[in-house]
Amino acid sequence: MCIFCKIVNKEIPSNLVAENDDFMAFHDINPKAPIHILIIPKQHVESFHEVSGEMMAAITPFIQEIAVKTGVSKTGYRVISNIGENGGQEVKHLHWHLLGGARLAWGHFADADAKDFF
Ligand code: AMP
Ligand code: ZN
């Protein structure tokens, strides 16, 4: 069972923000912004690439509610889902990073020089 499924089953603890029958939101253990929350489906889906349109439709208002609840909806925020190796996905259970609370940096070639690719 993957680490996020264990969090869903309460086999390992999390710093919970909200949950309903289908989704959970909890604080990232290694925050990269003042607000860094992970939002996951309780059902195990490997990544964004496997998610159904139906689940996407359902998780969208849940993510919006978390943004309101944490106050970042007023100041702006970022929602990211890393996919696979090049996307930097470490946990193979679909999750959205909700980041906010400060002006966020924007730079996606952290481990390489962009000019090498073009
Ligand atoms: P990703 O690299 O997109 O797969 O992101 C995985 C995220 O999960 C990272 O930001 C980790 O800090 C976070 N993480 C890993 N284990 C836990 C945990 N037990 N509780 C909360 N966050 C976790
Ligand atoms: Zn899982």
Report domain extents, the chain.
3-103
Among 30, 47, 92, the mutation site with the greatest number of ligand 1 atoms within 8 A of its Cβ is 30
How many A from CA of 12 to the centre of ligand 1? Answer: 13
pLDDT in tens, 57-111: 999 999 999 999 999 999 999 999 999 999 999 999 999 999 999 999 998 776 6
- Between the two ends of the chain, the Cα-to-Cα distance in Å is 40
- Residue of 93, 95, 97, 108 with catalytic role: 95
Task: Identify whether the C-beta of residue 84 lies closer than 8 Å to the C-beta of residue 49.
Answer: yes
Among 91, 95, 99, 111, the mutation site with the greatest number of ligand 1 atoms within 8 A of its Cβ is 91
Q: Which CATH superfamily is domain 3-103 in?
A: HIT-like (3.30.428.10)
Q: How far is CA 1 from CA 4, 6, 18, 46, 93, in A?
A: 8, 7, 22, 12, 10
SS3 23: strand
Residue 6 bridge partners (DSSP): none
pTM assigned to the model: 0.93
pLDDT in tens, 46-62: 999 999 999 999 999 99
